[in-house]
Amino acid sequence: MKCPFCGDMRTRVIDTTRNARGVRRRRECKACRKRFSTVERAILTTPLVVKRDGQREEFSREKLLAGLRTACTRRPISAGDLERLVDRVESHIRQMGKTEIPSRVVGDLTIQELKELDPVSYIRYAIVYLGLEDLEAVRSEIDRLLGERE
Ligand SMILES: [Zn+2]
pLDDT, tens digit (0-9, with 9 covering 90-100), for 48-92: 999 989 999 999 999 999 989 999 999 999 999 999 999 999 999
Stronger pLDDT, 30 or 140, i.e. the higher one: 30
Q: Ligand 1 center to residue 19 CA distance, Å? A: 27
Q: Ligand 1 center to residue 11 CA distance, Å? A: 8
Rg of the chain on CA atoms, in Å: 23
pLDDT for 29: 97
CA dihedral over 135, 119, 128, 95, signed as positive or negative? negative
Instruction: Tell me: pLDDT of 2 over 80.
Output: yes
Q: Ligand 1 center to residue 18 CA distance, Å? A: 24
C-alpha atoms less than 13 angstroms from C-alpha of 110 in its C-beta half-sphere: 28
- List the single range of 4-13, 37-46, 65-74, 121-130 with lowest mean pLDDT: 121-130
pLDDT for 74: 92
Q: Ligand 1 center to residue 38 CA distance, Å? A: 14
Q: Ligand 1 center to residue 35 CA distance, Å? A: 8
Q: Ligand 1 center to residue 23 CA distance, Å? A: 22
- List the single range of 74-78, 98-102, 129-133 with lowest mean pLDDT: 129-133
Q: Ligand 1 center to residue 6 CA distance, Å? A: 4
* Model pLDDT for residues 29-52, shown as the tens digit of each residue: 999 999 999 988 877 788 999 998
Q: Ligand 1 center to residue 77 CA distance, Å? A: 56
Q: Ligand 1 center to residue 42 CA distance, Å? A: 27
Q: Ligand 1 center to residue 41 CA distance, Å? A: 24
**pTM listed for this prediction:** 0.64
3-state secondary structure the chain: CCCCCCCCCCEEEEEEEEECCEEEEEEEECCCCCEEEEEECCCCCCCEEECCCCCEECCCHHHHHHHHHHHCCCCCCCHHHHHHHHHHHHHHHHHCCCCEEEHHHHHHHHHHHHHHHCHHHHHHHHHHHCCCCCHHHHHHHHHHHHHHHC
